[in-house]
Amino acid sequence: MNAMWVELKAIFDRLSIDPAVRAILLTGAGEKAFSAGLDVEAATSSGPLSKIGGKDPARAATALRRHILEFQDCVSSIEKCEKPVIIVLHGYSLGLAIDICTAADIRLCASNTRFAVKEVDNGLAADIGTLSRLPKIVSSFSWVKDVCLSARPFGADEALRVGFISGVYGNKDEAVKEGLKLAASIAGKSPVAVQGTKELLNWSRDHTVADGLRYTSVWNSGALQSKDLSSAMLSALQRRTPTFEKL
């Protein structure tokens, strides 16, 4: 496994339980791309292609399955992180950029973002999360199949229209600025309320309404004992900004 992904997981696992952290903004360095997708050289040297060579196909399959599961596990650390993760995309955002993006909570982008579920053009079905999460996070299954089967590029406006992205801004700097504003606003609220909200929405996406309601009742049977409720209400009555203890 490429060290970068192992480190990504290590970081998100730490942020998940660091009481000083209340909201996370994930963005890409540089001007041109969040991620240009699969690096052919990496794929050959440390990626799937390196797992196969000369092996019995069943044994190659085991090596590949372990590799994919480990890679998925790294990217899923964003979804499993207990704190909200806002992602800001810009420029080329291909292949793995989409896998990462679907694991984040709130997706914002610059108007120059150029998306593509690029994997079929590399001869494979996307396997690090896009195909499992996309049907559950955007509106139109016809659109999902169109972009996943054709690998065609799409821009920020189309991404906004179908609900993949919930905010488009003029350029990367503006998008990051808005993302930070949103992060700050969330960080000012009760972490018991915020982190419960993330957990309950993710659980509900994957369960029936009945199971969602029951899990919620058990979750909140502990969470409602927080003094954050009375702080929040008192502050509202007194028109003060409340502060909440770390979690």
Give me 153's structure tokens: 């590029």
Of residues 137, 160, 231, the one with CA closest to residue 192: 231
Q: Which of 6, 21, 36, 229 is the binder for a copy of itself (CB under 8 A)?
A: 229
Binding to a copy of itself (CB under 8 A) within 115-144 occurs at: 119-127, 129, 131-144
Q: How far is CA 84 from CA 8, 27, 107, 112, 186, in A?
A: 16, 14, 11, 25, 8
Per-residue mark of binding to a copy of itself, 51-90 (x: CB under 8 A) = -x---xxxxxxx-xxx-xx--x---x--x----x------
116 burial class (0-12, 13-18, 19+ CB within 10 angstroms)? buried
Spatial contact of 179 and 86, defined as CB atoms under 8 Å apart:
yes
Shortest Cβ 68–a copy of itself spacing (Å): 4
Nearer residue to a copy of itself within complex by CB, 11 or 47 = 47
Count of residues binding a copy of itself (CB under 8 A)? 114
Check binding of 10 to a copy of itself (CB under 8 A). no
Residues facing 106 on adjacent strands: 86
Nearer residue to a copy of itself within complex by CB, 20 or 221 = 221
Nearer residue to a copy of itself within complex by CB, 11 or 187 = 187
Shortest Cβ 242–a copy of itself spacing (Å): 8
Check binding of 233 to a copy of itself (CB under 8 A). yes
Per-residue mark of binding to a copy of itself, 193-222 (x: CB under 8 A) = xxxxxxxxx--xxxxxxxxxxxxxxxxxxx
Query: Which strands make up the sheet holding 33-35, listed edge to edge?
Result: 33-35, 92-94, 114-116, 154-155
Binding to a copy of itself (CB under 8 A) within 149-188 occurs at: 149-152, 162-167, 182, 185-186
Give, to the nearest 10 degrees, the angle between helix 191-205 and helix 209-223: 160
